[in-house]
Amino acid sequence: MIKTVIIGQGMAASYLEVGLERLKRNEIPDYGVPLRNWIPVKYDEIEIVGSYDVDERKIGKTAYELAREFFDSSVIPGKLKEIQVRRGIHMGSLKGLPYKAKGLEEKLGFDKAVETLIEEWKSLGAEVFVNVITTEPAEPIGSFDELMARVREGYLSASQAYAYAVARYAKEVKPSVFINAIPSPIANDAAFIQLYEASNAIVFGDDAATGATPLTADLLEHLYQRNRRVLGIAQFNIGGNTDFLALTEPERNIMKKKTKSSMVSDILGYEAPNYIRPTGYLEPLGDKKFVAMIIEYSSFGDFKDEIYVIMRVNDKPAIVGVLIDMIRLAKIALEKKKYGTVYEVNAFYTKKPGPPGAKAISKVKAFYRLLDWLGLKDPRD
């Protein structure tokens, strides 16, 4: 079994917990899981053993109870009653959002909080950690020494703190994987790469790629392959879930913009004017997300063409398919002992693939690099 801990018991976590159990019981097809049944790791092997949050309304509740906010009781697997939400750490990362939160670090101090987590994980037998907390402001730390200094001061973002705790756990207890599904730079922070390499730990990240960004990447690849000159790209997003609410704060919004800006020039090979960022929050949309995209380019003879795309997607289901693969790939990466990070995984599944300095490539290319890494052949060939 792949003993998995969820960090951040929000909507994505509930969708993952419900979806995974239903998938294991064959109640739903495995649509949206890119690697489907091609790899030797089965869905059944994934077991969610714990979940962490800092919202007082959630701590102590079961995943079953919390799933009822999003799902009809009739479809929530009883198994979720076994997952109880534990108190995590927040390091001030929810500042400005409408939650009443209290972290372990506020009770115990940072050092003791980390030790508590490690003890709990040990008793849970955890080896894979999925970070789906709310988008937080964060910058790469850069050097290992600076990271150690920050640890001593307890001056880290929530994701950095969890990532550090996982490294400690990996070194002290057993090799582990931290899947960073949010924009905080962990796989893109040289400090964490060094720490992970030294700790028998692996980080996948950053920022799970689910919606418009991968499609934009592949449209850019399409234009690149035809040598069409992109004159400008605009991409708007609007949604009604907590992610979009969080992104109405400029500090958090800037995190998303960062993970997307280098993609355009990485894929096209030149700087094309672009405006790509989460745009608006409209509460009644709920988990439904709308994307509008506009691309102008020059064709042969400098004629101007345009492509317009509108997407209407369910946001969380998209991320669940990706996470189910990443958890299974965590097992494979551990077996291969690829400590540090795995670009081949990051390139396909994330918006800002680490390690730092790595280039964004189109998803369509990344897919084949991933198959190569796995020793798989495209089954259509």
Residues 97-156 that bind a second copy (CB under 8 A): none
User: Residues touching a second copy: how many (CB under 8 A)?
Assistant: 79
- Minimal distance in Å, beta carbon 106 to a second copy? 33
CA nearest to 268, candidates 224, 324, 218, 320: 224
Q: Does 298 bind a second copy (CB under 8 A)?
A: yes
Choices 22-30, 96-104, 128-136, 147-155; region in contact with a second copy by CB under 8 A: 22-30
**Nearest residue (CB) to a second copy, 139 versus 275:** 275
For a second copy, the binding residue among 69, 73, 153, 312 (CB under 8 A) is 312
Rounded to whole angstroms, how far apart are CA atoms 289 and 305? 27
**Nearest residue (CB) to a second copy, 164 versus 348:** 348
For a second copy, the binding residue among 73, 74, 303, 337 (CB under 8 A) is 303
- Minimal distance in Å, beta carbon 373 to a second copy? 15
**Nearest residue (CB) to a second copy, 84 versus 314:** 314
- Minimal distance in Å, beta carbon 282 to a second copy? 5
CA nearest to 11, candidates 289, 319, 278, 237: 319
For a second copy, the binding residue among 39, 97, 292, 374 (CB under 8 A) is 292
For a second copy, the binding residue among 109, 122, 232, 336 (CB under 8 A) is 232
Long-range contacts of 258-262 (CB under 8 A, 24+ apart): 258/183, 258/352, 259/183, 259/206, 259/207, 259/213, 259/351, 259/352, 260/213, 260/351, 260/352, 262/352, 262/360
Q: Does 357 bind a second copy (CB under 8 A)?
A: no
- Looking at the DSSP bridge assignments, the partners of residue 62 are 84
Rg (CA), the chain: 20
For a second copy, the binding residue among 39, 238, 245, 374 (CB under 8 A) is 238
For a second copy, the binding residue among 188, 274, 341, 350 (CB under 8 A) is 274
Q: Does 379 bind a second copy (CB under 8 A)?
A: yes
Q: Does 270 bind a second copy (CB under 8 A)?
A: no
Rounded to whole angstroms, how far apart are CA atoms 155 and 91? 8
Residue 39 phi/psi, 5-degree rounding, is: -105, 160
Q: Does 262 bind a second copy (CB under 8 A)?
A: no
CA nearest to 255, candidates 160, 323, 352: 352
Whether residue 240 contacts residue 381, with contact meaning beta carbons closer than 8 Å, is answered with no
> Who's near 301: CB < 8 A, 6+ residues apart?
none
CA nearest to 183, candidates 250, 131, 236: 131
> Who's near 36: CB < 8 A, 6+ residues apart?
30
Choices 4-12, 103-111, 192-200, 263-271; region in contact with a second copy by CB under 8 A: 263-271
Rounded to whole angstroms, how far apart are CA atoms 207 and 186? 10
Rounded to whole angstroms, how far apart are CA atoms 110 and 153? 9
* Footprint (CB under 8 A) of a second copy, residues 1-20: 15, 18-19
Q: Does 225 bind a second copy (CB under 8 A)?
A: yes
Q: Does 359 bind a second copy (CB under 8 A)?
A: yes
* Footprint (CB under 8 A) of a second copy, residues 32-71: 32-36
Q: Does 279 bind a second copy (CB under 8 A)?
A: yes
Choices 60-68, 135-143, 171-179, 314-322; region in contact with a second copy by CB under 8 A: 314-322
Tokens of 8: 């951040």
- Minimal distance in Å, beta carbon 377 to a second copy? 13
Q: Does 337 bind a second copy (CB under 8 A)?
A: no
Rounded to whole angstroms, how far apart are CA atoms 295 and 292? 10
Q: Does 228 bind a second copy (CB under 8 A)?
A: yes
